[in-house]
């Protein structure tokens, strides 16, 4: 079994904050349709690599922070992030962390759930986005994942345990 450790204390927090920062880098509107949610990707990354250290409360806190920044309904992202973490941790047990195709399937499912929940909440509050363009981050998440996963690889130390 592989037991990974964070490279330094607070590494998870740092990556989540970086993800939140990337989420809020100003982009022209036609580009921002393609922006994946980097916090979701970070949460999936940690669920895959260190599922013992992933904390649902941290995910919830980051979600509230994201809600405040984007002035969304308070709890919209929080619920999404908590569910993302939960499902990613559950599903990560069924696969090996090295197989890319399996990772893609996992991301597709988890990010899909996240976006679906966001869409429902928006539908309920009467804030419906633009048609199919809404689902573009699902694709771009898959495209960005190998790079982002590679970069985040710096933040933990792989360790083999018997």
Partner 1 sequence: MAVDYRNPAATKPVRTGFAIVAYPLQRMVDAPFNLYTKVTGFFANQTHLASENSALKEQLRLYSVQYRDMQVLEQQNARLRELLKVDKRVGYTFTMAEVIAASDERGRQVVTLNKGSRDGVHEKQVVLAEGGNIYGQVVEVTPFSSKVMELTDRQHAIPVRNLRTGMRALANGTGKADILELKSIVAGSSSNVQDGDVFVSSGLDMLFPPDFPVAKVIPNGVQYISGDPFANISAKPMINFDNTREVLLLWRISPSPVEMLPAIPPAAPTAPAKPADIKNKKDEKTKKDEKPANKPTTASKPAGHPQ
Listed in sequence order, the DSSP H helices in the chain are 11-23, 29-32, 38-49, 56-70, 76-92, 100-124, 136-152
Q: Does the CA dihedral 118-58-138-26 come out positive or negative? A: positive
Which positions ≥6 away from 32 have C-beta within 8 Å? none
Under rule CB under 8 A, residue 141 binds partner 1: no
Tell me how far, at minimum, the Cβ of 159 lies from partner 1, in Å: 31
Work out the number of other CB atoms within 10 angstroms of the CB of residue 115.
19
Q: CA 9 from chain center: how many Å?
A: 20
Q: Is 46 helix (H, G, I), strand (E, B) or coil?
A: helix
Residues 6-45 binding partner 1 (CB under 8 A) are: 17, 20-21, 23-29, 32, 35
Nearer to partner 1, 73 or 113 (CB): 73
Tell me how far, at minimum, the Cβ of 80 lies from partner 1, in Å: 11
Nearer to partner 1, 97 or 116 (CB): 116
Radius of gyration of the chain (CA): 15
Residues 69-108 binding partner 1 (CB under 8 A) are: 69-76, 79
Nearer to partner 1, 9 or 28 (CB): 28
Nearer to partner 1, 121 or 138 (CB): 121
Nearer to partner 1, 33 or 104 (CB): 33
Residues that bind partner 1 (CB under 8 A): 17, 20-21, 23-29, 32, 35, 64-65, 67-76, 79, 121-122, 124-125, 127-130, 134
């Amino acid at each position: 079994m592989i037991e990974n450790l964070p490279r330094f204390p607070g590494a998870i927090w740092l990556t989540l904050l970086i993800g939140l920062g990337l989420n809020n880098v100003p982009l022209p509107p036609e580009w921002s349709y393609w922006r994946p949610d980097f916090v979701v990707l970070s949460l999936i990354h940690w669920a895959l690599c260190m599922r013992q250290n992933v904390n649902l409360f941290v995910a919830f806190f980051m979600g509230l922070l994201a809600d405040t920044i984007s002035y969304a309904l308070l709890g919209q992202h929080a619920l999404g992030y908590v569910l993302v973490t939960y499902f990613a941790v559950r599903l990560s047990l069924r696969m090996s962390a090295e197989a890319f195709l399996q990772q893609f399937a996992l991301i597709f499912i988890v990010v899909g759930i996240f976006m679906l929940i966001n869409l429902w909440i928006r539908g309920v509050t009467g804030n419906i986005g633009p048609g199919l363009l809404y689902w573009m981050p699902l694709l771009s998440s898959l495209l960005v994942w190998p790079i982002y996963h590679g970069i985040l690889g710096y933040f933990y130390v792989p360790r083999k345990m018997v």
